[in-house]
Amino acid sequence: MGAKHVLDFAKNCVKHEMLLHVSTAYVCGEKSGLILEKPFKMGETLNGISGLDIQTELKLAKEKRNELQAKQATKEEESTAMKEFGMQRARFYGWPNTYSFTKAMGEMLLGDLRGNVPLAIIRPTIITSTYKEPFPGWVEGVRTIDSLAVGYGKGKLTCFLGDFDLILDLIPGDMVVNAMIAAMVTHANQPNEFIYQVGSSLGNPIKCSTFKDLAYCYFSKNPWIDKDGKQVIVTRPILFTSAASFQRYMAVRYLLPLKGLQVVNAALCNYFRHTYSSTNRKIKFVLRLVELYMPYIFFKGIFDDANLEKLRTTVTKPSEANTYYFDPKIIDWEDYFMNVHFPGIVRYVFK
């Protein structure tokens, strides 16, 4: 309901000119093909099942929490159960996870309740470190695709699930901010609702295989030094193109040996406890990443940015091209990853 509260606040502002809402391009779920910049209607679902009502969803979530508390569930048990319940509700209506489901409902609320408040909704794709401002490569925290780079660079991630020809829709954070500023300037006191998808899959696509090769190239030339002062030597990452092949590999290569190590460790009074614990953490890390990114691993959609292209031509004067840049076509992906993004996450994210 956060989006509604912000809208209510905006309506009470005497001199408000417009409301800018940042959503995500992945409110589309797991659709394929060209995904248009179109708003959601209240109650619209991705799989066509009728009956989506936001107040009902809030009521169901509250009832579920009360049920868990009545059973005296621990905080951890309650958190796990509520996450699973949210996933069930999202999947029931066609969304792959709670994040995209709640983002879509936020858009619905704003579109339905905005009245005469001018509204622009920004839908960024996968946001990466800054292209230029406030300085190249700046990023805060581990998010989205950076989790893969961090895991790989630290030697925790040697394999993953994906499609070599998959297009990764990436966009630097400062380009998203510039698009937001441009939308605010353009739509001040305009009566309509506008949707802008901010990404690169249509104008300047990069394949998963390219990202994989550049990661290997960078961390081979610039190995991470771990806490013991040792270089982490990376190998070419293995990319599995199906969930079945990935699961077989993990079972044979890691899970079965880990089970054997667990038995030996118990027999030898926890002599191998550090080895077991370290290996177990690495396996859980990989499996957690696969679970987290499963909706996007085989995503076949291309995000249309026709509205954004019109915005670029409207607000960007030749003299301002270097200031209000948000055209993904200017990005040289190899240069960006080798000289901006990977150095940036090593500097600001690696611990």
The pLDDT, as a whole number, for residue 276 is: 63
| Residue 225 confidence (pLDDT) above 80 | yes
User: What pLDDT does 58 receive?
Assistant: 94
Mean pLDDT estimate for the chain: 88
Pick the closest to residue 258 from 280, 241, 273 (CA basis): 280
**Cis, bond preceding 134 (omega within 30 deg of 0):** yes
**CATH 3.40.50 is right for the domain spanning 2-52+93-348:** yes
Q: What are the two backbone dihedrals, phi and then psi, of residue 259, each rounded to the nearest 5 degrees?
A: -65, -40
128 DSSP β-pair partners: 172
Q: What is the pLDDT of residue 261?
A: 64
- Cα 123 from chain centre: 12
Which residues partner with 91 through β-bridges? Answer: none
What pLDDT does 346 receive? 92
DSSP states of 103-125: HHHHHHHHHHH-TT--EEEEEE-
Say which range, 258-262, 284-288, 295-299, has the weakest mean pLDDT.
258-262
- Give the Cα separation of 157 and 159 in Å (integer): 6
User: Pick the catalytic residue: 26, 64, 93, 103?
Assistant: 103
pLDDT band at 147 (very low <50, low <70, confident <90, very high): confident
pLDDT in tens, 203-213: 999 998 999 99
Q: Are 194 and 307 in contact (CB under 8 A)?
A: yes
How large is the angle between the packed helices 54-70 and 98-113, nearest 10 degrees? 140
Specify the pTM.
0.86
Active site residue 71: no
pLDDT for 107: 96
Residue 317, beta-bridge partner list: none
Task: Tell me the C-alpha distance between 109 and 115, whole Å.
Answer: 11
Q: What tens digit of pLDDT does each residue of 34-78 get?
A: 999 999 999 999 999 999 999 999 999 999 999 999 988 899 899
Q: Are 19 and 117 in contact (CB under 8 A)?
A: yes
pLDDT at 320: 67
pLDDT over 90 for what percent of the chain? 57
The pLDDT assigned to 25 comes to 96
Can you give the residue ranges of every domain in the chain? Answer: 2-52+93-348
Q: How many helices (H) and strands (E) does the chain have?
A: 13, 11
- Identify the active-site residue in 11, 99, 154, 156: 99
Q: Kindly state the tokens that stand for 146.
A: 């950076």
Annotated catalytic residue 325: no
Q: What are the distances in angstroms from CA 146 to CA 14, 142, 209?
A: 41, 6, 16
48-62, 216-230, 236-250: which has the minimum mean pLDDT? 236-250
Amino acid, res. 51: G
- 313 has pLDDT over 90: no
* 68-93: pLDDT as tens digits: 999 888 998 999 899 999 999 999 99
Tokens for 274? 């550090």
CA distance 313 to 292: 37
* Cα dihedral sign, 186-125-99-36: positive
